Structure 1
């Protein structure tokens, strides 16, 4: 009798499928989009610090690599712990049901230890840059994990403001690697990131209103309705208007483009008072906010190079 060997094609196919599934699980676990969005401001803060201290990137590229790797580990650790803690509400919300903590493809114990390990490794590595950078990173990690994830997210609408602090420290990390953050530029970057996150998060909360409501997450539109959410969105966008003028040292081109971006966003925000389809308006706010941040941060870097 001839023994039938499994075909190599079949084995390769299974191997590729397993690798693809693992990659997808890790991408969901790390919240890849959120992770990238948090690393970009670190890069911007690093580059601006070099510019304002009259130093060259070529002399600090190794430090930049260490900063990027370590800060990415810290942020990934916080996001993983968030997934571990939020597994019960992630099971309810459609947007999070593919996470390995929900599907069971990764045990909760494994996920927790991954989050702790990533966090510790990242903080230790970042300590090899400057202590101030490590402190800012820890503040961001702690704020996201404890006051946001474990305390306010399910209880209070101010969870958005608390969560925004963790994202706002990211450019401070990049700057602190090069110089002290006792400087107007990193302070304005902090304010920019903090304010930007609020309308961005409100837009997500409106778009996913039913999911947040079912999961019992205390987002502003769920607790207080659309009208107050639209009003607060416009107020926070308006708060961005003076910030470019406080970064006048970046040049007239930057101030002009940044101001134009702010005005356009404010106009879109005001449209929320008259648009009948609030979810469509929220989608506009969400998409614009993503493009706004990427354009603005890259613009800051570009004007320091040109």
Structure 2
């Protein structure tokens, strides 16, 4: 029997919150705060205490949602190469422990967010509720448009950070949220194509499983085209930002178009997935840099 060490526990915990997924959901919170301070001409230090509470609280909420996703899908995760090594699937953590940890972590996060403001709490709750209830519990195994529901939970993250300083019901934060929402569609579809056999085996109703790869590629192209005009609504960040993001979008569209003649679907999907991650990291980083 393998001895459970603190290092093993930490490694399993990182796997349980889907490490990279957790990070890419927390980073927009930070980005939203920097951007809000910049646009509203408010010094970063003015709301620093509230921001750290928001960052910690929202991180707990995000982690809790990801844990509950793993708890609910543990049996199906066992059938997938990509997820079978997660502690919720391989038995390293009992399902009861994962459920308890997910609920407790979520509650701690929401309690911390009570010390912020109504909008921060609202957007955090929307993200958690859509991901756990609408996406994980209800739609992921039943409907091919589950990705749209999942994207709602992801797109509110920059609004959480923005709301620390000012109301998010403004053009700029809504454009950032819309870009994050649309970005998730081709990103998730690329994952679904590269892991098509896994999703088929587990019975998840992802678009390429239900409607085929060709139709999924058309959807990917449609969403990427929708990204093109959005940076132009963010003129306050300057034309360099608009031009840079537009070039990234055009490059992504070009890669998407190459998929219609691709001989190796998995290889193409891998390239699309990697490009999507680079795209989002550069998008968020450029906002932070221009906001300092």
Output the TM-score relative to the length of structure 1.
0.93
Count of aligned residue pairs for this structure pair: 291
Larger Rg: 1
Q: Which of the residues 17, 28, 33 maps onto 1:41?
A: 28
Distance in structure 1 (CA, Å) of the matches to 2:33 and 2:50: 10
Q: State whether structure 2 residue 161 is matched by structure 1 residue 205.
A: no
Does the 8 Å CA contact 2:158/2:173 hold for their aligned counterparts? yes
| Higher relative contact order (Cα pairs below 8 Å, separated by 6+ residues) | 2
Q: Which of the residues 7, 10, 18 maps onto 1:31?
A: 18
Distance in structure 2 (CA, Å) of the matches to 1:103 and 1:33: 20
Task: Give the aligned partner of residue 116 of structure 1.
Answer: 103
Q: State whether structure 2 residue 139 is matched by structure 1 residue 146.
A: no
Output the TM-score relative to the length of structure 2.
0.97
Q: State whether structure 2 residue 215 is matched by structure 1 residue 228.
A: yes
Task: Give the aligned partner of residue 298 of structure 1.
Answer: 285
Q: CA shift at 1:282, angstroms? A: 0.7
Q: Which of the residues 223, 228, 238 maps onto 1:251?
A: 238
Task: For residue 253 of structure 2, give the secondary structure of its aligned residue in structure 1.
Answer: helix
Distance in structure 1 (CA, Å) of the matches to 2:169 and 2:76: 40
Distance in structure 2 (CA, Å) of the matches to 1:18 and 1:82: 25
Distance in structure 1 (CA, Å) of the matches to 2:172 and 2:268: 32
Task: Give the aligned partner of residue 76 of structure 2.
Answer: 89
Distance in structure 2 (CA, Å) of the matches to 1:161 and 1:86: 19
For structure 1, the residue ranges without an aligned partner over 5 or more in a row are: 1-13
Task: Give the aligned partner of residue 271 of structure 1.
Answer: 258
Q: CA shift at 1:137, angstroms? A: 0.4
Task: Give the aligned partner of residue 216 of structure 1.
Answer: 203
Q: State whether structure 2 residue 123 is matched by structure 1 residue 136.
A: yes
Q: State whether structure 2 residue 68 is matched by structure 1 residue 77.
A: no
Task: Give the aligned partner of residue 227 of structure 2.
Answer: 240
Runs (4+) off by over 6 Å: none
Moved more, 272-281 or 156-165: 272-281
Does the 8 Å CA contact 2:63/2:106 hold for their aligned counterparts? yes
Q: CA shift at 1:287, angstroms? A: 0.3
